């Protein structure tokens, strides 16, 4: 979606929205978005019930399956599983390093 500048240098609606979003982010920080997101989720759950999220999740899942095929979920599932396995392996390595040289890890220098 390409938007051309209007004559006179005025901003497009998209540019104005982006600029406003940046200013809000700078003023209030990421916690603000987290807070209003939680409020919105709570309000939606109150209004439509918690099963609403299940319905829209299934609807979104069907749309993704239609667009990318069922193998897409297999692929991202394997990717996520591999990431978890890598993190576990990294944690084990760090634990082993701590057992071997605890003083070096804490102080950054070998024990005297």
- How confident is the model at residue 17, as a pLDDT? 96
Per the CB < 8 A criterion, the answer to whether 84 and 78 are in contact is no
pLDDT of res. 106: 58
What per-residue confidence (pLDDT) applies to 102? 62
Residue where the block lists tokens 């309000």: 43
d(CA 4, CA 17) in angstroms, rounded, equals: 15
Give the Cβ contact number of residue 68 at 10 Å: 12
CA 20 to chain centre: 21
pLDDT tens per residue across span 32-85: 999 999 999 999 999 999 899 999 999 999 999 999 998 999 999 999 999 999
Residue 71 tokens, joined: 């193998």
Claim: this prediction has a pTM higher than 0.75: no
Q: Which of 93, 95, 98 is nearest to 106 (CA)?
A: 98
Domain spans of the chain, in order of start:
12-107
């Amino acid at each position: 979606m390409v938007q051309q500048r209007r004559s006179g240098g005025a901003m497009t609606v998209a540019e104005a929205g982006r600029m406003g979003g940046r200013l809000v982010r700078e003023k209030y920080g990421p916690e603000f978005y987290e807070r209003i997101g939680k409020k919105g989720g709570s309000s939606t759950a109150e209004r439509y019930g918690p099963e609403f999220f299940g319905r829209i999740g299934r609807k979104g899942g069907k749309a993704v399956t239609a667009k990318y095929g069922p193998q897409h979920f297999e692929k991202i599932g394997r990717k996520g599983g591999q990431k978890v396995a890598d993190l576990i392996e990294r944690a084990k390595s760090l634990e082993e390093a701590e057992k071997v040289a605890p003083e070096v890890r804490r102080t950054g220098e070998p024990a005297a």
